[in-house]
Amino acid sequence: SQQGEEDPQALSIQEGENATMNCSYKTSINNLQWYRQNSGRGLVHLILIRSNEREKHSGRLRVTLDTSKKSSSLLITASRAADTASYFCATDAGTGGFKTIFGAGTRLFVKA
Amino acid sequence: GAVVSQHPSWVICKSGTSVKIECRSLDFQATTMFWYRQFPKQSLMLMATSNEGSKATYEQGVEKDKFLINHASLTLSTLTVTSAHPEDSSFYICSAPRPSLIAFEQFFGPGTRLTVL
């Protein structure tokens, strides 16, 4: 099962521009995470935001969380060609356990 | 940081054969591990929860007799795709959670690409 949808499904931008990806989820959560995946490769953990946090930064990444709307956004500033990848949000689906449920993902393409 | 390994990284097999994929947590013990499947250009779909010392828990729509899971020790879970068919060709990824004080960290293996001819 998947937790929710991501928007847009695909995004193409020029190097240097900012990229914003949105994620919506269905159930209550304890935390939300963002991952990156290069084509055909494993996952890279980017950032975790807890349900009582509203915003978190890590380098060129900014993540926001709005639990009232059950949504999160990932902003990548000053994008680089190397940022080209698929980005997924994932939640614990409020299970209280260790399950991680993924959203549909956004495929980002950064043109040099 | 914690590392989760998978073996093999890729496998090609004939239709009707069984394929075993191993998932190991290298520097921590994992009583629970998870198996995901990912088709091209799609997201990761959770298949099952592997529980050390007990039966695996399968997600809705996943055939337990098709995908056999054995959590033999605190650092090893195996997924066996039985009587594989071309539609089972996919990228299989395992993960192992490691609790921390505030939440848990989910460590993912590098994935195994299965191609069934």
- DSSP assignment of A41-53 equals S-EEEEEEEETT-
Residues B5/B26, Cβ–Cβ less than 8 Å? yes
Alpha-carbon distance A24 to nearest alpha carbon in chain B (angstroms): 14
Long-range CB contacts (< 8 A, 24+ apart) of B83-86?
A: B83/B16, B83/B17, B83/B18, B84/B13, B84/B15, B84/B16, B84/B17, B84/B18, B84/B19, B84/B114, B84/B116, B85/B15, B85/B16, B85/B116, B86/B15, B86/B116, B86/B117
Query: Which amino acid appears at position B55 of this protein?
Result: K
Question: Considering only alpha carbons, which residue of chain B is nearest residue A6?
Answer: B43
Predicted confidence at residue A3, as pLDDT, reads 60
Averaged pLDDT of chain B: 92
Write out chain B residues lying below 8 Å of A35, CB-based. 108
pLDDT higher than threshold 70 for residue A47:
yes
Write out chain B residues lying below 8 Å of A50, CB-based. 102-103
**Which residues are CB-contacts of B40 (< 8 A; sequence separation ≥ 6)?**
none
Best of A100, A101, A109 to mutate (most B CBs within 10 Å, chain B): A100
Residue range A7-21: average pLDDT? Answer: 94
> What size, in residues, is chain B?
117
Residue range B67-92: average pLDDT? Answer: 96
**Which residues are CB-contacts of A54 (< 8 A; sequence separation ≥ 6)?**
A64, A65, A66
8 Å CB contact of B45 and A105: no
Predicted confidence at residue B17, as pLDDT, reads 97
Left, alpha or beta for B84 (phi > 0: left; psi -120 to 50: alpha)? beta
> What size, in residues, is chain A?
112
Best of A98, A102, A106, A108 to mutate (most B CBs within 10 Å, chain B): A98
3-state DSSP call for residue B107? strand
pLDDT higher than threshold 80 for residue A58:
yes
Query: Which amino acid appears at position A90 of this protein?
Result: A
Residue in the structure block whose two tokens are 């998932």: B23
8 Å CB contact of A102 and B44: yes
| Option in B59, B91, B95 nearest A1 (CB) | B59
Best of B6, B7, B46 to mutate (most A CBs within 10 Å, chain A): B46
Q: Which of residues 27-56 of A touch B (CB under 8 A)?
A: 30-31, 33, 35, 40-43, 45, 48, 50
Residue range B44-69: average pLDDT? Answer: 94
Report the DSSP beta bridge partners of residue B11: B114
Residues B102/A50, Cβ–Cβ less than 8 Å? yes
Predicted confidence at residue A96, as pLDDT, reads 63
Predicted confidence at residue B1, as pLDDT, reads 63
